Structure 1
């Protein structure tokens, strides 16, 4: 019995020693809670050089994790198993996270660089007075097309996509809000329409486009269009900019009927353990020079007005990606539709996809 007791004591001492050593090493390497900032962001959505710069300037160690959808991000934060000091959700997700008490209100006094954000992108309906969120990137949904492959034809409207000359030439992004929204916009309905008769009308109109649809795809849409395997694509503006940098025959347009104006914002989730580190990182990213570096790397439009002077003129003056207020005022931000209505959008989209095969 004494021998068994000594074994238990030895195991306990060794285990405690190993735990102490790990904690000591983590602390010395910057992995202790107060020296670590854990960021939850979309994939390839920050210049890695900026993370290294932040670590060097601040003394914090960054742990960077990625997600591929707002829903996956929210689920992980709701579960609470992982500490995230910063997350980067889209506007409708922010609205939902507010309702579900998943966000910590921001202290603007700790974000002096917030003054650099264009006033057009502050105090929006999904987060009035920016109580919970800081603008990160913004953009539109539109149409990218290859003029040469279309024999010089210009596209200006969603309704152009029903042209019989485009048979088997169109790629669509695999997104219910984007595709159903395209159908709604083509009928001059709101992107956030909750009228089921309007939604069915939009879906039935989309069904008539199916001869023109080559495929409904994910990220590979960028490669396929750049390589001229399709002449038209419905894409997000940042993807369009990236594709166009690979092929100068391409152009991008926001259709005249209107489209989506989207925002990704930095927030501090309820899981945060290092508030000071979170504020330090946010303020670092709001610095105009850092925002400009990040904008060139990512390719999306920056809401940081002060950063524009640090960008090449061919970027900052390109009205396709920095449209004037007259256009942006016509665009719509996705609203949180609620579970039942979102499920209905997804159901219609799935039916459309099956019809397109």
Structure 2
């Protein structure tokens, strides 16, 4: 993929931040000088440009408060600091010149100039980028040349689209953004009279299901993603427009309910409640004891995935279904050349690390300490793979062995045409359920329950399972699932494998704090 480099940008700008007006990939950088007739945003009033400036200032670490669109004293101070740091003329005005200067600094300093990257991993390829550029154009967002190159104009157009959708704004083109672009071009929910806001894990829905729900109910689905249970809780605590349906991992439900983040479900309004498998629902009660706050969406195991071709070269004849392949440093080093990793989900990985460290059953601080000691020995050997990049890392062969979710391994199998294997580890794996829940501050509880009820239809949840590779909790869905999915041991493990799997433990507040600290030391 062609990359707009910082050197090119510097050449275009003459090496200075404010060296005139420059066009790169269709994006016109401002001079930073406010137009003579520009009016300052009034203090206390909500203003779209102020909100955008606040978001950009926050990305630069200059503003700590939640973007509100109001020109607060903290925002004014952040603007003053930004202008001073970059030797720009002092101004109290929030205008296009300031926004373009903010975007330019972010472009130059935060890896934008390296392409469509989050960290160091490319999120979509050139073909996906070009499709996104075309779709953005159809929606009247100028994404610059349709060349599959991620430049400033594509970033800005993507941010504008995300803002219009009411979803997380980061300017990156992920699979979810591409899905939402396709849905928008197809007129998804265009004539709907109401909206349901959904917050889910990456790669965890079928786009057709969203569109069918919108058509049937005349309710627009605003679809956003989170990357961890901590991220989910932070979103629910933050200001802004509330979400109506969320999908926490079941072991996170008790703490979220205790913090007042979840509301009780109106199960009497759910016509398809009887389709839930009572065995899965009973397992869910290991976390949500009364079943008041959650219903099962998908269930899965946390175990080990690998690429047999790559691991056979790195360690010929070695059995791959052991935790030691990742958690034993001497063994992990054998796979370092082809990539060994863990998914970036501390609450899923730490209990397995504790098992590898001799703690067969979760025991609070003792287990955290055991897991921490295991992870400490792996620093510099084992990579931490973001949840929204795990599937592609496995499928593309960037990682040859990793700890992660069974359903993600199934999606990687499909993308790699069968070159990925997955097993519950011989020492034991984890059994987990992702739940459907309604936040306590949901604005549209009626639509939330309609959406949850829709997902409990056998044909609907089967379509999702076929798409995402996770087992569902619906008694009647089997006849609508593809044989390749329901017969895959990574989707539905054998009885013996399940007997070695224990439910993901409920983590106390202290556990969560200790895990966050240990994970921070390991992943930085």
TM bucket, shorter chain: 0.7 to 0.9
- Between the aligned partners of 1:206 and 1:73, the Cα distance in structure 2 is 25
Q: Does 1:100 align with 2:269?
A: no
1:49 aligns to what SS in structure 2? Answer: helix
TM-score, scaled to structure 1: 0.81
Q: Which has the higher helix share?
A: 1
Matched residue, 1:205: 374
In structure 2, relative to structure 1, the CA distance for the partners of 1:330 and 1:29 (3 Å cut) is same
Task: Give the Å deviation of 1:210.
Answer: 5.0
Q: Does 1:76 align with 2:239?
A: no
In structure 2, relative to structure 1, the CA distance for the partners of 1:351 and 1:308 (3 Å cut) is same
Q: Does 1:111 align with 2:274?
A: no
Matched-pair contact (CA < 8 Å) for 2:303–2:422: yes
- Between the aligned partners of 2:220 and 2:520, the Cα distance in structure 1 is 43
Task: Give the Å deviation of 1:122.
Answer: 0.5
In structure 2, relative to structure 1, the CA distance for the partners of 1:148 and 1:64 (3 Å cut) is closer
Task: Give the Å deviation of 1:58.
Answer: 1.7
2:264 aligns to what SS in structure 1? Answer: coil
Tell me which of 226, 240, 247 is aligned to 2:395: 226
Q: Does 1:65 align with 2:224?
A: yes
- Between the aligned partners of 2:202 and 2:325, the Cα distance in structure 1 is 32
- Between the aligned partners of 1:103 and 1:64, the Cα distance in structure 2 is 19
Matched-pair contact (CA < 8 Å) for 1:170–1:230: yes
In structure 2, relative to structure 1, the CA distance for the partners of 1:143 and 1:107 (3 Å cut) is same
Q: Deviations over 1:168-219 (max 9, x none)?
A: 44122223233332321124424633133x4334333344445753x22213
1:122 aligns to what SS in structure 2? Answer: helix
Q: Does 1:37 align with 2:37?
A: no
Q: Deviations over 1:145-180 (max 9, x none)?
A: 122322353322212443264354412222323333
- Between the aligned partners of 1:42 and 1:208, the Cα distance in structure 2 is 30
- Between the aligned partners of 1:116 and 1:296, the Cα distance in structure 2 is 18
Equivalent residues, number: 323
Higher RCO by CA contacts (8 Å cutoff, separation 6 or greater): 1
1:256 aligns to what SS in structure 2? Answer: coil
Q: Does 1:216 align with 2:375?
A: no
- Between the aligned partners of 2:389 and 2:452, the Cα distance in structure 1 is 31
Tell me which of 275, 287, 299 is aligned to 1:126: 287
Matched-pair contact (CA < 8 Å) for 2:424–2:501: no
1:341 aligns to what SS in structure 2? Answer: helix
Tell me which of 337, 347, 354 is aligned to 2:507: 337
Matched residue, 2:85: none
Matched residue, 1:252: 422
In structure 2, relative to structure 1, the CA distance for the partners of 1:131 and 1:330 (3 Å cut) is farther
Unaligned runs of 5+ in 1: 1-27
CA-atom RMSD in angstroms: 2.6
Q: Superposition pairs for residues 230-309 of structure 1, below 5 Å?
A: 230-247=399-416, 248-309=418-479
Q: Deviations over 1:265-286 (max 9, x none)?
A: 1112122233322222111110
In structure 2, relative to structure 1, the CA distance for the partners of 1:234 and 1:105 (3 Å cut) is same
1:273 aligns to what SS in structure 2? Answer: coil
- Between the aligned partners of 2:380 and 2:233, the Cα distance in structure 1 is 37
- Between the aligned partners of 1:107 and 1:230, the Cα distance in structure 2 is 43
Matched-pair contact (CA < 8 Å) for 1:191–1:334: no
Task: Give the Å deviation of 1:305.
Answer: 2.7
Matched-pair contact (CA < 8 Å) for 1:147–1:153: no
Unaligned runs of 5+ in 2: 1-189
- Between the aligned partners of 2:297 and 2:409, the Cα distance in structure 1 is 18
Tell me which of 302, 314, 320 is aligned to 2:484: 314
TM-score, scaled to structure 2: 0.57
Q: Deviations over 1:93-137 (max 9, x none)?
A: 211121122322223222231222222210322112422111111
- Between the aligned partners of 1:288 and 1:148, the Cα distance in structure 2 is 37
- Between the aligned partners of 1:65 and 1:211, the Cα distance in structure 2 is 33
Q: Superposition pairs for residues 143-158 of structure 1, below 5 Å?
A: 143-149=304-310, 150=312, 151-158=316-323
